[in-house]
Amino acid sequence: MFKRLFGRGQDAPRTEEEAQVEEEQVTQSLEKSRQGIFGRIAQIFATDDPITEELWDELEEALIQGDVGLETTQYLVNRTKDRVNRYGTKKASEARDMLKAEMVRVFQDQVRPQSATTPTPFVILVVGVNGAGKTTLIAKLAHRMKFRFGKSILLAAGDTFRAAATEQLETWAERAGVPCVSLGQGADSSAVVFKAIDAALEQQVDVLIIDTAGRLQAKFNLMQELEKMRNIIARKIPEAPHEVLLVIDATTGQNGVLQAKAFLKSAGVTDVAVSKMDGTAKGGIAFAIAQDIERPIRYLGTGEKMSDLALFDAQTFVDALFS
């Protein structure tokens, strides 16, 4: 039986059927990981052979190769070892569920409290480096909220720096069937935000999603720009943005985690969305993100279709890696 999962803020409760559909999406998107590194880990724990130091060394090597990261790998291996010793477990197959439980814990340690009320408009600021998949994820998010939960959505094309970024978001907005506020390339991004907030308040939309630039080569100016945007939003709507969603490309591995850290302080990141999960054989990057970024993973991009976006659930994710 699938759990009835409740989203935060702008998300309505998922039915068991919806949760099952998303579980299948996650399972399919992790096919490469399951056949690669995590298939190897499953084999390590598939026998009734006695647990040895060689097993732990092999597990550590596999996790690092799977982009879990050194610190998180050591955490998982040591925590699982402790469980094995505490319960006197002797066989490798009996330690498998202990490893999975520790993997789930990595994600659950980052869960933040849910809000009891949903402000209107609910403002989401989307940040991340260029190429991470921000624009596509925004479109998927808008589509999900509109067609699954019946929310009214407004997009704001705040990335006015990158060539064709505004046009790209407008195109995706049209595909998702939602309006988009833009002032064109080269415009002041803060002016776009100001105009979008006014429109959101006037039209009483449920959710305002704001795109931002991701040019790390101009890091100082970019971070100043993000802070300015946040200040404008807060002045217009107290306590907003209600969610700052950092998009990380799963295919970039540890490099993506390092790049993402640049956004943590200036952007005030609250949650993470992992895009292109179906494009990597190293699904372990999700563990590194949760541990190193120290923010909860909110969404997984599971494919190229507009509907390929799943609400992240730790148990579902870990089960999918081993199923």
301 is in an annotated binding site: no
Asked whether residue 213 is marked as a ligand-binding residue, the answer is: yes
Q: Where are the alpha helices (DSSP H) in 4-91?
A: 16-29, 31-35, 37-44, 53-65, 70-87
Confirm if 12 and 290 have CB atoms less than 8 A apart.
no
> Is 91 marked as binding a ligand?
no
Beta strand extents in 184-258 (DSSP E only): 207-211, 243-249
Residue 132 is labelled as binding a ligand: yes
Instruction: Determine if residue 134 is labeled as part of a ligand binding site.
Output: yes
Task: Answer yes or no: is 162 a known binding residue.
Answer: no
191-198: long-range contacts, CB 8 A cutoff, minimum separation 24:
192/156, 192/157, 192/158, 192/160, 193/156, 193/158, 193/229, 193/232, 193/233, 194/232, 194/236, 195/156, 196/154, 196/155, 196/156, 196/158, 197/123, 197/232, 197/233, 197/236, 197/237, 198/236
Please check if 130 is assigned to a binding site.
yes
| 240 marked as binding residue | no
Give CA angle at 271 (101, 244), nearest 5°.
175
Q: Is 97 annotated as a binding residue?
A: no
Query: Was 135 annotated as part of a binding site?
Result: yes
Tell whether 214 is in a known binding site. Answer: yes
The secondary structure of residue 275, as a DSSP letter, is: E
DSSP 1: -
Place of tokens 């305002």: 208
Residue 224 phi/psi, 5-degree rounding, is -65, -40
Annotation-wise, does 39 bind a ligand?
Answer: no
**175 annotated as a binding-site residue:** no
Residues of the binding site: 128-135, 211-215, 275-278
Residues of the binding site for GTP: 128-135, 211-215, 275-278
